[in-house]
């Protein structure tokens, strides 16, 4: 909507510019004298004003003058305007010749020049005004006017953090002028440092003054140099920085800088993970090593976002053998090359197969005899599963039951299943199928020597099909960024965090638990979209529009991690909790055993059902499945 408003405004301004150019041209031609000749020719112009204006606007549209981002206007845009001005004048001459109407030749020359000056002036004036409003205005204006090429290349820097790291960054920038940076101001939240200097740079305020100081000092780039700060502090600082138009860089955390010198080369871009405001999960390496080292480990869905990261992290703990199972060969092939290159001494194998086939899975268990199984294979996309419920049931329920039963039959020591927050009070097919999978796991755990557990977590940043990659692709295409509802929220974690939780759960499990990560506060998707746009260097709803599309089939406004009746307890890990899931009733177990015997007949029976029948069956199994399509 904002984009089309800008185009309409440009159209209106160009109409004024085109006609003002003709009026000036007539005044210049007749030396600002309103003579009979002036009135005679001006009458011709007045009779053709609509057609001439429309012809010129059409030419301007054809040359893309309404599609360019004029805040970046440069030589290419200037050339477009000049060519468009000549062609538009030529087109108007052709029209007048065709209708046997004529103006003095000087009118054509004057109007062409005026078109270029006025139309170009509006667009470049827009850029100048924007540059004057943003931090670094002086530098930007110098760049635009072409004065002092050397001065234009200097990036004016604000350093956030007046400690040892901040001082080191300031000195490093000063010692390396080839980087084209100059530190002009520093900020720090320690009131005792206010108005003092650090490495010759004044500390002018706290992080709450970032926007004001960035504008005052013409800052182009902000460097966050507080490697010891926790995620909450970094989140607050980044949020303040987002109120400016400055580029942002950040030093890695103190753990990544141990024994390494602070320097410009260590800076990285601020990423969306810095806005979560939650500390990463730390795992007990000793516990993990105890149940993975020297063991045969099987990962289903090994080519997916979670499965592949599981393989990468498990490989660190020196298993005897690691098997990645997936039905899609391309992603798991790339993973195989990566693992074998990084861990050349690890015995790593790839199995191309589907968990749907009980006999194929039996072959895998007979051949490899795994000690530990991480079950990550599942269909996870909510809208797709709403329209394909039979495949969701076969993959997420039948496939999981295959793995659970065979793990018991072949005496697997630990079985960890990846679940989801969507299994809690599900409103969609995907969530309901994952809840059934949890119930099957709970029932099997009650009478098996295998330690079964499930891990629930929310959305994973950067995973295949997740919201962040989608937003970035939409931004690359010029927008709009799509959000389903203004108030929709989700829990988020990074892929490494999710995987560390899964691995840690396997070490802590005694049987039948559902582990839950303390994921902090839910994130509003609208805020996330705005932050991704800002981190991409644009302004939300100015450069990139945000469009509300409406909730998709089966989608909740907010997600939950625990049923009300499940309760929650702390574990030895301060970021991991365990729920006490309600065991499925004997009637439900009997129904599952009867209808989910995982034979070919069972699968064929599911395939023969109508989609509505599948959903009704799920409602019988999961009483709190509240269908959103009803």
Residues belonging to the active site: 422
Q: Which of 599, 566, 313, 524 is nearest to 435 (CA)?
A: 566
Q: Can you tell me which residue has the tokens 């939780």? A: 501
Residue 182's beta-bridge partner residues? 156
DSSP for 389-424, written as a single string? HHHHIIIIIIHHHHHHHHHHHTT-SEEEEE--GGGS
Kind and range of the H or E element at 523? Answer: strand 523-524
Helix (H, G, I), strand (E, B) or coil at 20: helix
Quick check: 230 and 256 in contact, CB under 8 A?
no
Tell me how many degrees the CA angle 158-161-166 measures, rounded to the nearest 5.
80
How many angstroms separate the first and last alpha carbons of the chain?
33
Residues 515 and 575: beta-carbon distance below 8 Å: no
3-state secondary structure of 603: helix
Is residue 45 classed as helix, strand or coil in its secondary structure? helix
Measured between alpha carbons, how far is 615 from 387 in angstroms, rounded to an integer? 11
- Kindly report the length of the chain: 630
Where would I find the beta strands (DSSP E) of 476-602?
A: 481-483, 489-490, 492-494, 513-517, 523-524, 546-548, 568-570, 576-579
What sign does the dihedral 108-111-117-118 (CA atoms) show? negative
- CB contact at 8 A, 402 and 602: no
Could you write out the DSSP letters of every residue in 343-399?
A: -TTS-EEEEE--TT-HHHHHHHHHHH--SEEEE------HHHHHH-HHHHIIIIIIH
Instruction: Using CA atoms of 14, 20, 25, 27 in order, give the dihedral in degrees to the nearest 10.
Output: 180
- Number of CB atoms found within 10 A of residue 414's CB: 23
Q: Which residues, including other chains, have CB under 8 Å from residue 4's CB and lie 6 or more apart?
A: none
| CB 235, CB 277: distance < 8 Å | yes
Sign, Cα dihedral of 438, 439, 442, 448: negative
Of 207, 113, 103, give the one whose Cα is nearest residue 162. Answer: 207
Nearest to 184 by CA among 163, 168, 170, 196: 170
Question: Which of 396, 389, 402 lies closest to 363, judged by CA?
Answer: 402
Beta strands 181-187 and 155-160 are: parallel
Measured CA distances, 600 to 32, 236, 328, 403 (Å): 93, 56, 22, 16
Q: Taking a C-beta distance cutoff of 8 angstroms, is the pair 297, 351 a contact?
A: no
């Amino acid at each position: 909507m904002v984009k089309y408003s800008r185009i309409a405004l440009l159209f209106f301004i160009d109409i004024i510019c085109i006609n003002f150019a003709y009026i000036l041209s007539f005044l210049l031609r007749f030396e600002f004298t309103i003579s009979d000749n002036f009135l005679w020719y001006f009458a011709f112009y007045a009779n053709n004003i609509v057609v001439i204006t429309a012809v010129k606007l059409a030419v301007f549209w054809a040359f893309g003058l309404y599609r360019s981002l004029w805040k970046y206007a440069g030589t290419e845009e200037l050339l477009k305007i000049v060519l468009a001005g000549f062609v538009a004048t030529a087109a108007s001459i052709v029209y007048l010749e065709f209708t046997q109407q004529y103006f003095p030749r000087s009118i054509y020359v004057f109007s062409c020049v005026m078109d270029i000056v006025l139309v170009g002036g509006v667009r470049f004036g827009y850029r100048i005004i924007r540059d004057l409003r943003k931090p670094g205005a002086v530098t930007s204006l110098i760049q635009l006017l072409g004065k002092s090429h050397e001065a234009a290349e200097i990036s004016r820097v604000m350093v956030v953090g007046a400690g040892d790291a901040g001082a080191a960054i300031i000195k490093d920038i000063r010692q390396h002028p080839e980087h084209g940076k100059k530190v002009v101001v520093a900020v720090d939240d320690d009131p005792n440092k206010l108005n003092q200097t650090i490495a010759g740079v004044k500390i002018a305020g706290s992080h709450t003054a970032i926007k004001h100081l960035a504008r005052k000092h013409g800052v182009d780039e902000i460097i966050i140099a507080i490697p010891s700060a926790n995620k909450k502090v970094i989140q607050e600082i980044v949020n303040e920085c987002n109120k400016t138009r400055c580029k942002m860089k950040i030093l890695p955390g103190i753990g990544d800088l141990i024994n390494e010198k602070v320097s410009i080369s260590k800076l990285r871009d601020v990423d969306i993970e810095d806005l979560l405001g939650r500390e990463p999960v730390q795992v007990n390496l000793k516990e993990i090593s105890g149940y993975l080292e020297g063991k045969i480990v099987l990962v289903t869905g090994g080519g997916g976002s979670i499965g592949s990261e599981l393989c990468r992290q498990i490989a660190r703990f020196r298993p005897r053998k690691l098997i990645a199972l997936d039905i899609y060969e391309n992603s798991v092939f790339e993973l195989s090359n990566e693992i074998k290159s990084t861990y050349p001494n690890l015995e790593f194998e790839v199995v191309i197969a589907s968990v749907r086939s009980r006999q194929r899975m039996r072959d895998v268990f007979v051949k490899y005899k795994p000690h530990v199984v991480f079950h990550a294979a599942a269909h996870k996309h909510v809208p797709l599963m709403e329209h394909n419920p039979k495949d969701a049931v076969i993959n997420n329920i039948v496939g999981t039951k295959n793995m659970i039963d065979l793990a018991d039959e072949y005496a697997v020591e630990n079985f960890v299943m990846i679940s989801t927050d969507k299994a809690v009070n599900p409103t969609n097919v995907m969530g309901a199928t994952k809840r059934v999978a949890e119930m099957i796991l709970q029932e099997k755990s009650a009478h098996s020597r295998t330690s079964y557990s499930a891990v629930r977590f929310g959305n994973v940043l950067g995973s295949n099909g997740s919201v962040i990659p989608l937003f970035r692709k939409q931004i690359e295409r010029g927008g709009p960024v799509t959000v389903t509802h203004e108030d929709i929220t989700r829990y988020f974690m990074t892929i490494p965090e999710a995987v560390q939780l899964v691995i840690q759960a396997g070490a802590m499990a005694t049987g039948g638990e559902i582990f839950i990560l303390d994921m902090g506060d839910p994130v509003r998707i609208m805020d996330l979209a705005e932050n991704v746009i800002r981190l991409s260097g644009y302004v939300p709803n100015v450069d990139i529009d945000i469009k509300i599309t409406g909730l998709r089939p089966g989608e909740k406004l907010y997600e939950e991690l625990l049923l009300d009746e499940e309760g929650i307890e702390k574990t030895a890990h301060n970021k991991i909790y365990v729920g006490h899931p309600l065991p499925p009733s004997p009637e439900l177990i009997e129904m599952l055993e009867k209808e989910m015997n995982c034979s070919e007949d069972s699968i064929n029976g599911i395939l023969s059902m109508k989609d509505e029948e599948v959903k009704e069956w799920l409602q019988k199994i999961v009483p709190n499945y509240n269908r959103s399509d009803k």
